[in-house]
């Protein structure tokens, strides 16, 4: 075991398997002793891993004795206002933060509709959510809310304390299963969803998308001031960036006749320049290999079909941006 260890916290729950798979592609394989193991071992002895709820991770990266690195949704970084450094969007675990109402509310299709109807009927609007800060700001920035209630803050209610003065709009902290709350406990919800299936299964409909979120790599600011940790974080950053880049690229190999070589090279994109070499024992033929963007591949097929032979397509595991992180 290394004398120095980088303390890394990753999310348990819905993101756990996604992050574990991402890490394995980066060469950081996680080994769990059991399904309830919160401290998996990792293939790099200079890194220690602990699983926490993604909601908690941003705040556990603050302070001298906190974790050095963490992965959480950018939604929770915003919600907690944690003073951390955002290093990288991992482009995984995409969710939308949505406002949902009962599906039988046929004439309600926006927050404005909800606020106006509840105000006219002299009813108190009850909202359930895990996103207290986001929901409070979302309401206060709404034109209809400001027109009706001015600068009043919605009443936010948790088991520990309550704040805000607008008792006509109440935000209740949810501890999960938010979609099950309407219509008995609350009227509407603000929640995250990846597919919308759970929303529909609970007889709700999405009326507004408030924000979108993906998993991000965040760092403790104190860790970035420590020489050894700073360099180790750069190593991790390169490995994770390599996975992101590889998912967007293809490595292609082909054989090309000398007379067709320039015709191929004119059309062929590359990371820098294609690699070209003569085929051994086969005069007049060349081997060409290069890295291209996935979304360019189909457009190349007509030219490749005309001028190339023996095309091999490979999805790389990683493409490391070594020159970018010094």
Q: What is the pLDDT of residues 285-318, one digit of tens each?
A: 999 999 999 999 999 999 899 999 889 999 999 9
d(CA 312, CA 292): 13
* Residue 220 φ/ψ, nearest 5 degrees: -70, 125
What is residue 326's predicted lDDT score, i.e. its pLDDT? 55
Token representation of residue 289: 């290999």
The enclosing H or E element of 250 equals: strand 249-257
Architecture of domain 6-92+215-246 in CATH? 3-Layer(aba) Sandwich (3.40)
Residues 182-206 have a mean pLDDT of 95
Residues 182-210 have a mean pLDDT of 95
User: 192 pLDDT band (50/70/90 cuts)?
Assistant: very high
C-alpha triplet 75, 89, 252: angle, nearest 5°: 145
Mean of all residue pLDDT scores within the chain: 93
Residues 17-37 have a mean pLDDT of 92
C-alpha triplet 316, 318, 321: angle, nearest 5°: 130
DSSP string, 264-315: HHHH---SSS-EEEEPTT-TTEEEEEEEEEHHHHHHHHHHHHHHEEEEEEE-
List residues bridging with 288 in a β-sheet. 254, 276
- What is the CB neighbour count within 10 angstroms for residue 167? 10
- Per-residue pLDDT of 90-123, as tens digits, reads 999 999 999 999 999 999 999 999 999 999 999 9
Say yes or no to pLDDT of 28 above 50. yes
CB 220 within 8 A of CB 61: yes
Q: Pick from 246, 285, 245: which is nearest to 264 by CA?
A: 285
Q: Which fold has domain 96-212?
A: D-Maltodextrin-Binding Protein; domain 2 (3.40.190)
Task: Specify the CATH number of the domain 249-314.
Answer: 3.30.70.120
What is residue 180's predicted lDDT score, i.e. its pLDDT? 94
Token representation of residue 62: 């603050």
Say yes or no to pLDDT of 323 above 90. no
Q: In the structure, how many helices (H) and strands (E) does the chain have?
A: 9, 18
List the domain boundaries for the chain.
6-92+215-246, 96-212, 249-314
| Neighbouring residues of 53: CB distance < 8 A, sequence distance ≥ 6 | 11, 12, 13
User: 1 pLDDT band (50/70/90 cuts)?
Assistant: very low
Work out whether the CA dihedral 296, 302, 307, 308 comes out positive or negative.
positive
* Residue 279 φ/ψ, nearest 5 degrees: -75, 130
- Per-residue pLDDT of 58-85, as tens digits, reads 999 987 778 999 999 999 999 999 999 9
What is residue 36's predicted lDDT score, i.e. its pLDDT? 87
User: 324 pLDDT band (50/70/90 cuts)?
Assistant: low
| Neighbouring residues of 304: CB distance < 8 A, sequence distance ≥ 6 | 254, 264, 311
Whole-number percent of the chain with pLDDT over 70: 98
d(CA 191, CA 135): 10
* Residue 159 φ/ψ, nearest 5 degrees: -65, -20
CB 2 within 8 A of CB 218: no
- What is the CB neighbour count within 10 angstroms for residue 310? 10
What is residue 325's predicted lDDT score, i.e. its pLDDT? 56
pTM of this structure: 0.89
Whole-number percent of the chain with pLDDT over 90: 84
d(CA 117, CA 122): 8
CB 240 within 8 A of CB 96: no
- Per-residue pLDDT of 262-275, as tens digits, reads 988 888 877 678 88
C-alpha triplet 224, 93, 320: angle, nearest 5°: 55
Residues of 209-224 as b/e, b for ≥16 C-beta within 10 angstroms? ebbebebbbbbbeebb
Q: Do the domains 6-92+215-246 and 96-212 sit in the same CATH topology, yes or no?
A: yes
């Amino acid at each position: 075991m290394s004398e120095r260890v980088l303390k890394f916290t990753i999310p348990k729950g819905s993101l756990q398997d996604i992050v574990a798979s991402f890490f394995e592609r980066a060469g950081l394989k996680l080994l769990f002793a059991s399904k309830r193991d919160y401290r998996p071992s990792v293939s790099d002895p200079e890194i220690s891993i602990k699983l926490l709820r993604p909601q908690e991770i941003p705040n556990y990266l603050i302070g001298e004795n906190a974790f050095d690195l963490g992965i959480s949704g950018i939604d929770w970084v915003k919600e907690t206002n944690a003073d951390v450094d955002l290093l990288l969007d991992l482009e995984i675990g995409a969710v939308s933060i949505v406002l949902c109402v009962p599906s039988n509310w046929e004439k309600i299709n926006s927050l404005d509709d909800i606020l106006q109807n509840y105000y006219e009927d002299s009813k108190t609007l009850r909202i359930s959510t895990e996103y207290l800060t986001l929901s409070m700001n979302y309401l206060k920035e709404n034109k209809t809310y400001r027109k009706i209630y001015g600068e009043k803050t919605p009443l936010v209610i948790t088991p520990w304390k309550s704040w805000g003065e607008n008792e006509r709009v109440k935000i209740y902290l949810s501890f999960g299963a938010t979609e099950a709350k309407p219509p008995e406990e609350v009227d509407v919800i603000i929640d995250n969803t990846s597919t919308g299936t759970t929303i529909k299964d609970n007889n709700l409909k999405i009326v507004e998308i408030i924000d979108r979120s993906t998993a991000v790599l965040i760092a403790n600011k104190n860790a970035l001031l420590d020489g050894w940790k700073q360099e180790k974080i750069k190593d991790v950053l390169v490995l994770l960036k390599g996975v992101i880049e590889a998912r967007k690229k293809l490595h292609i190999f082909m054989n090309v006749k000398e007379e067709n070589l320039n015709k191929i090279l004119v059309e062929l994109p590359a990371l820098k320049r294609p690699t070209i070499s003569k085929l051994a024992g086969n005069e007049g033929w060349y081997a060409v290999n290069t890295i291209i963007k996935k979304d360019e591949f189909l457009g190349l097929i007509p030219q490749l079909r005309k001028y190339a032979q023996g095309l091999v397509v490979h999805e790389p595991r990683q493409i490391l941006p070594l020159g970018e992180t010094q």
